[in-house]
A and B are shown apart, each in its own frame.
Chain A
Amino acid sequence: MLQGGEWAYSDTLKEHFMNPKNILQGENTDDFDGVGMEGNLQCGDQMMVVIKVDKEKDVITDCQWKTYGCASAIASTSVLSEMVKGKTLDQAFHISPKEVAQELGGLPDHKIHCSVLGDKALRAAINNYYTRNGKEDKVKQDQVKVVCQCMNITDHDIEDAVLEGARTWFELQERTKIGTVCGQCEDEAGVLLEKFKHIHFGL
């Protein structure tokens, strides 16, 4: 009899993969107050998050989703949809990929990027809610700063690379091609590299 070894994933992640919670049924999103979509199929990950909001209290009452992606992408969207219910929009907006990964009982390093899209899609859904309800002033854009002018690499690209496993300047360059032309951004990028390593991995 075949004895399968341990999965590469935690039991929590496996449970969310086998029995995902809060999948959006059908194609209709009209009943929801905010809709957000991130990623694309070419890259292998795409997530859509839809929310219902108690407009008096700005509290999320329901969160559903669809995901195109691997087991950890499916599980992280599922767990995220459980995490945000009952949270205020402001609390939900600040959920980090690290918290999603923790809730899942950890993710293998090369799978961290799968959990990043879920919270991005959630923030997009929250902003969408604000826009629809005449609260444009509350829409928060992710502040993007171009670090490497030559290759047009932003601080977000650096963060993504760190989440995908880059730990050194060389690995960062391999992934993003940052600083491969004039190289003037190396110092600033190095500071950001250390910052994101600390934020996401406590390094």
Chain B
Amino acid sequence: MADMKVYFDHNATTPLHPEVKKEMIAGMEMFGNPSSMHAYGREARANVEDARQKVADFIGARENEIIFVGSGSEANNTVLSLFVCSSSQCIPGSRRGTIITTKIEHPCVLETSECLAHRGVRVKYLNVDRYGKVDLDQLYGMLGDDVGLVSVMMANNEIGTLQDIEAISKMVHESGAFMHTDAVQAVGKVPVDVTKLGVDFLTISAHKIYGPKGVGALFVKQGLPYCPLIRGGHQERGRRAGTENTLGILGMAKAAEMRVAEMPEEEERLLLLKQRLQRGIEESIADIYINGHPTDSLASTLNVSFTGVEGEAILLYLDLEGIAVSTGSACASGSLDPSHVLLATGVDAELAHGSIRFSMGRGSSMQEVEYLLEVLPRTIQRIRNMSTAYVKGGSHAARR
């Protein structure tokens, strides 16, 4: 199995689905600008609108509620930025100037929130419990007639914990605020239906569901006030300027279509892989901690902390054996702080430095899990043999 390749980093990005690839190769011939009135333009327009319908169907929305954007990050930036606009045309930022979000959001939400705070918006951050679940009592206490928007991610990218968006939406709407969810990691893995969830805004991205990079979609509920982030064109009905990424949009629609067909059987299969992986790690490696929620979690995502070892070293030794994973260690991120998500769940900093995320996908197999279980114990042992954590006088992680 020396040349075996295992890609367990699907939460970072996914390989293109073969059907998506076919669709996009065929679509490369189509170069017209969807805004042009001639035959070339009309062909592109028809394809973009057909894609819009497919993406809308995928999340239970109407086609006029879908705005194609350049990424999940752009969609999240767009929603949050609605609230710095105090014009009555836009969402009432002037009267309801407070935004509530969580401590475990993606940086594109957290850093935008920080930026908005500098521009006078009040931002409050919800705590999560040790499993990464949002504190609903705290949310209830924060809600009031000053709150304009609540943004809570549906599934966490690092630990896979799922939030009860339906319940949160209900609570948020009772207080008169708008509800946004970043569903980038949830969509295509668990059922996402905007009506059932009751959200006003929802973010999805193509490259997390076996589609191309550089394209995402923002759901904006019909009739809601809106303010574009990128101006200067009538594309997307004036809601997002810039000539449409027709090829990307085509790919995204095909990816959504394939998810509808493949998702139902996949979750159970992935759950078996995850259970085998978790049990295998627990049985063969001492001093480990499982991060994230034991049940309300993505079937594809397992996050584990190994005491006494640093994540980047694990990642790179596994890479040398053909296994791709990711880590919450500071060293791998280029900053000095480890994963903000793990720290928010109360994980000790040492355990956050030693955390590894395994995220599986549609191509993952039991054979791959078994190969990983063969390599991982000796890799951890090897690093622990050279670690100060396992000598006299070395410090040990605080146990939680």
A residues contacting B by CB (< 8 A) are 2, 4, 17-18, 20, 23-25, 27, 29, 37, 40-48, 65-74, 110-111, 114, 164
Contacts and interface: CB of A to CB of B under 8 A. Distances in A.
Contact of B394 (A45, A48, A114): A48
A41 B353 contact: yes
Given A23-B386, A71-B313, A164 B336 contact: yes
Interface in B310-337: 310-313, 316, 319-320, 329-332, 334, 336
Given A41-B395, A44-B338, 19 more contacts: A18-B320, A23-B386, A24-B391, A27-B391, A41-B308, A41-B349, A41-B396, A42-B348, A46-B388, A48-B388, A67-B386, A68-B309, A68-B394, A70-B311, A70-B312, A71-B312, A73-B310, A74-B386, A114-B331
8 contacts: A4-B319, A24-B391, A29-B391, A37-B388, A44-B310, A44-B329, A48-B391, A69-B331
Nearest to A41: B350
Nearest to A48: B388
Contacts of A68: 308-310, 387-389, 394
Contacts of A67: 386-388
A24 B387 CA distance: 9
Contacts of A47: 388
Given A41-B353, A48-B394, A71 B386 contact: no
Interface residues of B, number: 34
A66 B387 CA distance: 5
A67 B336 CA distance: 18
A27 B385 CA distance: 9
B313 A70 contact: yes
B237 interface: no
A70 B386 CA distance: 12
Given A42-B349, A70-B329, A27 B388 contact: no
B393 interface: yes
A139 to B, nearest CB: 19
Going nearest first, the 6 A-B pairs with the smallest beta carbon separation are A70-B331, A70-B312, A41-B350, A44-B353, A46-B388, A42-B349
Nearest to B396: A41
B385 A23 contact: yes
B313 A44 contact: no
B329 A71 contact: no
Nearest to A40: B395
A37 B395 CA distance: 11
With most chain A CB atoms within 10 A of its CB, the pick from B329, B330, B388, B396 is B388
B336 to A, nearest CB: 7
Contacts of A25: 385
Nearest to A111: B331
With most chain B CB atoms within 10 A of its CB, the pick from A24, A27, A29, A44 is A44
B394 A20 contact: no
B95 interface: no
A2 B388 CA distance: 35
B230 interface: no
Contacts of A74: 313, 386
Interface string B324-364: 00000111101010100000000011100100000000000
B40 interface: no
B170 interface: no
Interface in B1-32: 5
B388 to A, nearest CB: 4
Nearest to B351: A41
B315 to A, nearest CB: 9
